[in-house]
């Protein structure tokens, strides 16, 4: 049963409402005294649960950050990115303006103004809880109040991590707001990353492993495997390349050196791996079916998920295989899913035997239903769907017309393995990285293919450079559609390199030259016995002979120059637009403290 993000009790809700309205000026006016609230485990749990509420804000993670952050990359794009007058597209093509209509909206009391204000609302709730638990709760390891402090520290780190990857340098707020700190300037992200890494180190001493306690038997609450995994991720990001006001570079802070941060990432990822408290699911498809079925039991592959109530959240709403209308699988409204998808060549970059391919890349949509029943219909070469998100795999029939209620996976065990591989390769060489890469690939290929596709392939990666290239590729094959690629490309200093490579691949596919010379220009389809599911011939290289009169032909060649070039705006260097700007209304209301860098 999914956990619902609600504050436990009207008293606690009143406490937060009062605090946020009055900017927490001392003494705070609240319906519950802080000492009572944070010394009582039951009341304190309600307050910490309240930290999660901004994830569901109308214009926060729910409706703006999850649907729009992470595009475009060398594997994923917004499917309408060629639109020339669409502010949604501008968020993806590295041409975002500070007055973007999707983001630059007034702050509201019920939904946040945009992801920035929503996430700072979550940070403020976390700051109140952290201060109160430290002051009144005696939060020791093994105690319930100790767990709550660890959870609050981790949730604050999540908000900050998402703000940092979206905006670069941002204000650092690690204490509740007072009248003296309402307006503050941006801080160096290096300072914030160091604080988050320290916070997560403390949280790891307070939070149990998955299923070690009742609190950690669901992926909707944080556990030690997630805390350590997130700490490892942030260590790699903090030491990686990124755009600073003076250019794209690594941090100059010695505390965030590659040597220090990769050692931390390796230690933390190995700690998770060696704990045996998380694992890959047996099959790739099985994992994604489990996710869509909303199985939130901890101890498997999903480490932590942003939890949404049934009538909140827009993951499938945005990214599922597209459904034209309400049908036998959902009642979520018209044209749900399909707002983004894999680049058209990704399907062909997978090894044909890789079981991740057909799960990740879907060439069809569900058409207009007849008597409530919709059939699969072939889409277009330039508009694939992500197959990891499917209404048809759900066990619950979604009835909300605005939201689907499916959680957002924030981190899974596969990433921990690839972090370990990358860090081990950097510090110890390819031999140390090989076991982690093999574990990922072993799940991706059938047993009959593993000797060649796993052992021979990985064992041939004898240099650090070859192993790194393979790890970059494996991240692509494993995580397409999860919107983690953009930040990874940035920290590897590969953003423009890979975007330009993707453009060239699309032009090669368009012309059927180079690696895509054998890709058919015509598909053939018929329906299986259920009269809903397509039987498709012609997707694989070399399948160019008409399979017979029972099949119908379909042109598979819709890929225009304008669509290809929309991966980023012509004339723009993506390396000078790695971040979104700060929204103009925030700047206008900052009393002169906030400014945009990077030429915005």
- What is the DSSP annotation of 198-213? HHHHHHHHHSPPTTSS
Establish if 291 belongs to a structural domain.
yes
Establish if 277 belongs to a structural domain.
yes
Q: Domain of 279?
A: 220-307+407-493
Write the pLDDT tens digit of every residue in 327-349.
999 999 999 999 999 999 999 99
Establish if 298 belongs to a structural domain.
yes
Establish if 575 belongs to a structural domain.
no
Establish if 460 belongs to a structural domain.
yes
What are the two backbone dihedrals, phi and then psi, of residue 13, each rounded to the nearest 5 degrees?
-60, -40
**C-alpha dist (Å) from residue 435 to 45, 230, 355, 467:** 40, 21, 20, 12
Range 353-387 burial, b when 16+ CB lie within 10 A, else e? ebbbbbbbbbbbbbbebeeeebbbebbbbbbbbbb
Average model confidence (pLDDT) for the chain? 94
DSSP 170: B
- 30 pLDDT band, cuts 50/70/90, is low
Helices (H), 9-168: 10-21, 34-39, 41-50, 66-68, 87-90, 115-136, 144-167
Establish if 379 belongs to a structural domain.
no
Contact (Cβ atoms closer than 8 angstroms) between residue 315 and residue 408: yes
- 86 pLDDT band, cuts 50/70/90, is confident
- 236 pLDDT band, cuts 50/70/90, is very high
Number of domains in the chain: 1
- Specify the pLDDT at position 106: 82
Indicate whether 7 pLDDT > 50. no
218, β-bridge pairs:
297
- Specify the pLDDT at position 593: 97
Establish if 443 belongs to a structural domain.
yes
Establish if 242 belongs to a structural domain.
yes
Helices 41-50 & 144-167 angle (0-180, nearest 10): 10
**C-alpha dist (Å) from residue 17 to 174, 182, 505:** 19, 17, 52
Secondary structure class of 524 (helix, strand, coil): strand
CATH number at residue 250: 1.25.40.900
């Amino acid at each position: 049963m999914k956990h619902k993000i609600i504050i436990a009790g009207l008293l606690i809700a009143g406490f937060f409402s009062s605090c946020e309205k009055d900017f927490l000026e001392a003494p705070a006016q609240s319906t519950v005294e802080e000492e009572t609230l944070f010394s009582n485990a039951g009341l304190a749990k309600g307050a910490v649960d309240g930290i999660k509420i901004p994830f569901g804000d109308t214009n926060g993670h729910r409706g703006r950050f999850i649907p729009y952050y992470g595009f475009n990359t060398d594997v994923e794009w917004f499917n309408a990115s060629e639109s020339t007058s669409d502010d949604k597209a501008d968020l993806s093509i590295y041409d975002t303006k500070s007055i973007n209509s999707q983001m630059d909206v007034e702050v509201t009391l019920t939904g946040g103004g945009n992801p920035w204000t929503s996430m700072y609302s979550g940070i403020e709730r976390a700051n109140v809880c952290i201060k109160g638990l430290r002051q009144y709760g005696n939060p020791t390891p093994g105690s319930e109040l100790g767990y709550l402090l660890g959870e609050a520290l981790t949730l604050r780190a999540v908000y900050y991590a998402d703000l940092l990857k979206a905006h670069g340098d941002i204000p650092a707020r690690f204490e509740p707001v007072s009248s003296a700190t309402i307006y503050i300037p941006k801080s160096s992200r290096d300072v914030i990353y160091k604080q988050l890494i320290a916070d997560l180190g403390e949280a790891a001493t307070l939070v149990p492993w998955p299923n070690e306690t009742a609190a950690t038997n669901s992926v909707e609450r944080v556990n030690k495997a997630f805390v350590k995994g997130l700490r490892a991720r942030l260590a790699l990001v903090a030491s990686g390349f990124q755009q600073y006001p003076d250019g794209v570079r690594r941090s100059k802070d010695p505390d965030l050196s590659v040597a220090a941060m990769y050692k931390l990432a390796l230690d933390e990822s190995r700690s998770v791996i060696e704990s045996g408290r998380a694992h890959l699911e047996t099959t790739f498809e099985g994992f994604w079916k489990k996710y869509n079925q909303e199985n939130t039991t901890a101890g498997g592959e999903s480490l932590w998920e942003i939890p949404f109530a049934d009538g909140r959240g827009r993951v499938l709403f945005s990214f599922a295989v597209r459904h034209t209308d309400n049908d036998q699988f959902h009642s979520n409204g018209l044209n749900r899913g399909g707002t983004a998808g894999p680049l058209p060549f990704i399907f062909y970059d997978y090894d044909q035997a890789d079981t991740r391919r057909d799960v990740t890349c879907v060439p069809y949509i569900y058409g207009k239903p007849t008597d409530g029943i919709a059939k699969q219909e072939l889409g277009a070469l330039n508009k694939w769907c992500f197959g990891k998100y499917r209404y048809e795999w759900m066990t619950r029939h979604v009835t909300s017309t605005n939201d689907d209620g499916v959680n957002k996976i924030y981190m899974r065990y596969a990433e921990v393995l690839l972090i370990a591989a990358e860090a081990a390769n950097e510090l110890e060489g390819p031999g140390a990285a090989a076991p982690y890469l093999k574990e990922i690939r072993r799940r991706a290929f059938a047993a009959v293919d593993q000797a060649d596709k796993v052992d021979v392939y990985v064992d041939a990666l004898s240099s650090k450079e070859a192993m790194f290239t393979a790890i970059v590729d494996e991240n692509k094959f494993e995580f397409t559609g999860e919107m983690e690629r953009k930040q990874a490309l940035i920290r590897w200093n590969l953003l423009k390199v890979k975007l330009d490579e993707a453009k060239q691949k699309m032009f090669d596919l368009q012309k059927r030259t180079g690696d895509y010379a054998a890709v058919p220009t015509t598909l053939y389809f018929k329906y299986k016995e259920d009269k809903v599911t397509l039987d498709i011939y012609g997707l694989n290289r070399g399948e160019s002979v008409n399979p017979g009169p029972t099949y119908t032909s379909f042109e598979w060649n819709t890929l225009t120059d304008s669509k290809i070039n929309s991966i980023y705006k012509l004339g723009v260097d993506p390396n000078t637009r790695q971040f979104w700007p700060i929204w103009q209304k925030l700047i206008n209301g900052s009393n002169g403290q906030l400014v945009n860098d990077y030429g915005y």
